[in-house]
Structure 1
Amino acid sequence: MPIFSASQIGSALAAFIVLTPAGVGGADQPPPYTSATEAYRQGASFMKSGEMTSAVPALEYAATRGVLGAQLKLARLYAKGRDVPQDDAKAFYYYQHIADQYADIQPSSPIAQYVGEAFSALGRYYVGGIPAVPLHPDPVYAVGLFRHAGAYFGYADAQYQLGRLYLTGSGVEKNETIAANWLAMAARKQHPGAQAVLGGMLWRGEGVSQRQVRGLALLMLANENAKTSVDDVEWIGRRYQETVALADKSTRKQAEALLPTLGGPRTAATTVKISPSTRGAPPPTRTLAKPAQEPSLSAMEEPRLGPVDVIPPAAMGMSVGFGASESGLGGLQP
């Protein structure tokens, strides 16, 4: 069974048909690119120079032929809506292709972080839904996606999202202690949102023993790390300023002294280059409707891993090494 059933997609299939790559002509016309790899390279080059009207068709040509790098670039472009009009349905479509192809790839693989990103992005969409498709909110299903990304791939944002769901009781039974465990995993990886939320919990003593010095230190660290994150910088900055205003001089000094033990602000992440030849077969027709003009692929340079089910929450548990007690916060303890 594929990780996304037809019943979950519903009427979204009609919207996905518009993703047929621009420039693909009839049978009597030559292909617009010599290969999917060449299309990817051209698309990436056009994208780098800001020529999006040329970049998108090239990337779409490569993406519908299984090029992972093209699928990922398009998913990010449509999700963010900065260089192209935001289109969550298209972003969902490409993230789903990635997740369906690589769900069981080894966590040690150089592309594992990108697969984790795809699962985490899909989880976000299932939390909020996509009204235009429509894709209805399903936080319970989102939890399964976040668990696979967070526990199997160790993807920090998925761990953060799980922590937030446990705090609100959305899709899972509310549990602040388990929430703190997931947030601690992401905080160790310098995820600013996780550091800010966990720091606030430690400052106030919510779900964990109150440790104001450590909580303030995490908020300080989150404030620095958020400067590299467009999504988190504003609310983290406000939370940091509010907490610092409540702290006395001694607490602030102790928190500053604690910062080196927490790893310090993150530096620019090392990017693993996705080879344009990293490809997987298109998802089966039972999962998504294929564009009408998409030609079949006779050979793939990386075999498809096959349809899989998302590992259910009960099977994953807290197997990544964190218990439900406060001692599970490990390196975040004084």
Structure 2
Amino acid sequence: MPMFSPSTIGSALAAFIVLTPVAVGGADEPPPYTSATEAYRQGASALKSGEMATAVPALEYAAKRGVLGAQLKLARLYAAGRDVAKDDAKAFYYFRDIADQYAEIPSSSPIAKYVGEAFVALGQYYVDGIPAMPLLSNPAYAAGLFRQAGTYFGNAEAQYQLGRLYLTGSGVEKNATIAANWLAMAARKQHPAAQAVLGEMLWRGEGVIQRPARGLAFLTLANENAKVGGPAWIGEIYQDAFAHADNTTRKEAEALLPQLGGPNRAVATPAKVIPADRADPPLPTRAITKPAATPPALSAAEGPKLGPVDLVPPAAMGLSVGFGASGDGLGGLEP
């Protein structure tokens, strides 16, 4: 069972949940759309064509009536701020509605990945805070959201973000071993940033037993996965490790690639990585906001309805993939 108890749970688990349309306006005024489904279709079509003046009202109509696809599109729109004015408060509310409604759906549901995405987005908002709401930074609460998305929904981004919190001790007790295990879970899903951070830890022996070949292998996979649209810092870390690796280490890293989910080929000479707007900076230079001294300043109406958050993980959480005191880097795999 998940760790959250939302106030309301949708009874129908479909890719797009549609509730009965509610008429707006006066008794003699027909609703602007024949149904929430039709409003969603019109909004999605207009969005695809770049007609934002048509898309946003239609999606809002559908979102208010429980259409998951509309809620998600609006949340992404306001979070990105490319086609509409960036509005983190609106994005927060839409992501929160998704998490409230579907927190307890089976993790095997076809919409589970979207619910996991909502939890991750909320977690990041609690890490950073939203001054306009105001939502104060609360990394401890964020850690609970990331943990829910990472364990119940298996979300790789959540596992990566939780690993970063454990590396810096932001909202949780600083623990490189637990951090490495969360990063390893994401790395197995070919999450490039997780592969890069874990690879650098293994390459340098920071918080884990030093395994240069394994570290270089993870950095190689990270570099490959981030070549198109990936953050530039991944390529920079990889190039530095590759330049300092001897031929024996490079050959050992090459042999490890298939075991770690990569191609069976030689470790390539570093290639230029295309940066992305959403890229995280290298973790050693990033200062994640410390936990707020007081809870987020939200009114009862504004506050999330996600229920209690498990802020302290079980002692063994994340320790099943081999990063104990004598761990070898990933699940007991040896070079």
- State TM-score, norm by structure 2: 0.76
- State the Cα deviation string for residues 113-166 of structure 1 (Å, max 9, x = none): 111111111010000101122110001111111111111111111110110000
Q: Is 2:109 aligned against 1:109?
A: yes
How far is 1:247 from its partner?
1.8
Aligned mates of 1:89, 1:321 — CA distance in 2: 37
- The equivalent of 2:13 in structure 1 is none
Return 176-185 or 313-322, whichever deviates more.
313-322
SS for the counterpart of 2:331 is helix
SS for the counterpart of 1:29 is coil
* Percent identical: 71
- The equivalent of 1:219 in structure 2 is 219
Equivalent residue runs for 1:232-271 within 5 Å = 232-264=230-262
- State the Cα deviation string for residues 74-121 of structure 1 (Å, max 9, x = none): 111111122222111111110000111111111111111111111111
Amino acid at match of 2:237: R
Aligned mates of 1:103, 1:180 — CA distance in 2: 27
Aligned mates of 1:33, 1:316 — CA distance in 2: 52
Query: Hey, which of these two has a bigger chunk of helix by percent?
Result: 1
Aligned mates of 2:192, 2:160 — CA distance in 1: 10
Amino acid at match of 1:42: Q
Return 252-261 or 183-192, whichever deviates more.
252-261
- State the Cα deviation string for residues 229-282 of structure 1 (Å, max 9, x = none): x4x4222122222222222233233323322221127xxxxxxxxxxxxxxxxx
Aligned mates of 2:221, 2:328 — CA distance in 1: 21
Aligned mates of 1:49, 1:253 — CA distance in 2: 50
Contact 1:104 1:308 in 2 (8 A): no
Contact 2:99 2:118 in 1 (8 A): yes
Unaligned runs of 5+ in 2: 8-23, 264-298
Aligned mates of 1:78, 1:136 — CA distance in 2: 19
Relative to structure 1, is the Cα distance of residues 257 and 172 closer, same or farther in structure 2, using a 3 angstrom cutoff? same
How far is 1:201 from its partner?
0.2
How far is 1:310 from its partner?
3.3
SS for the counterpart of 2:172 is coil
Aligned mates of 1:27, 1:327 — CA distance in 2: 70
Relative to structure 1, is the Cα distance of residues 96 and 254 closer, same or farther in structure 2, using a 3 angstrom cutoff? same
Contact 2:322 2:331 in 1 (8 A): no
Aligned mates of 1:332, 1:129 — CA distance in 2: 40
SS for the counterpart of 1:77 is helix
Relative to structure 1, is the Cα distance of residues 57 and 247 closer, same or farther in structure 2, using a 3 angstrom cutoff? same
Contact 2:320 2:331 in 1 (8 A): no
How far is 1:4 from its partner?
8.7
SS for the counterpart of 1:329 is coil
Return 66-75 or 241-250, whichever deviates more.
241-250
Relative to structure 1, is the Cα distance of residues 3 and 133 closer, same or farther in structure 2, using a 3 angstrom cutoff? farther
Return 312-321 or 236-245, whichever deviates more.
312-321
Contact 2:74 2:91 in 1 (8 A): yes
Q: Is 2:315 aligned against 1:309?
A: no
Relative to structure 1, is the Cα distance of residues 76 and 316 closer, same or farther in structure 2, using a 3 angstrom cutoff? farther
- The equivalent of 1:318 in structure 2 is 317
- Runs of 4+ with >6 A deviation: 2-5
Aligned mates of 1:235, 1:59 — CA distance in 2: 37
SS for the counterpart of 1:318 is coil
Equivalent residue runs for 1:95-134 within 5 Å = 95-134=95-134
Q: What is the RMSD of the two structures over their aligned residues, measured on CA atoms?
A: 2.8
Relative to structure 1, is the Cα distance of residues 81 and 316 closer, same or farther in structure 2, using a 3 angstrom cutoff? farther
SS for the counterpart of 1:330 is coil
Relative to structure 1, is the Cα distance of residues 194 and 102 closer, same or farther in structure 2, using a 3 angstrom cutoff? same
Name the count of aligned residue pairs: 280
SS for the counterpart of 1:227 is coil
How far is 1:60 from its partner?
1.0
Relative to structure 1, is the Cα distance of residues 322 and 251 closer, same or farther in structure 2, using a 3 angstrom cutoff? closer
* More relative contact order, 1 or 2 (CA 8 Å, 6+ apart): 1
Aligned mates of 1:332, 1:191 — CA distance in 2: 19
Relative to structure 1, is the Cα distance of residues 251 and 323 closer, same or farther in structure 2, using a 3 angstrom cutoff? closer
- The equivalent of 1:203 in structure 2 is 203
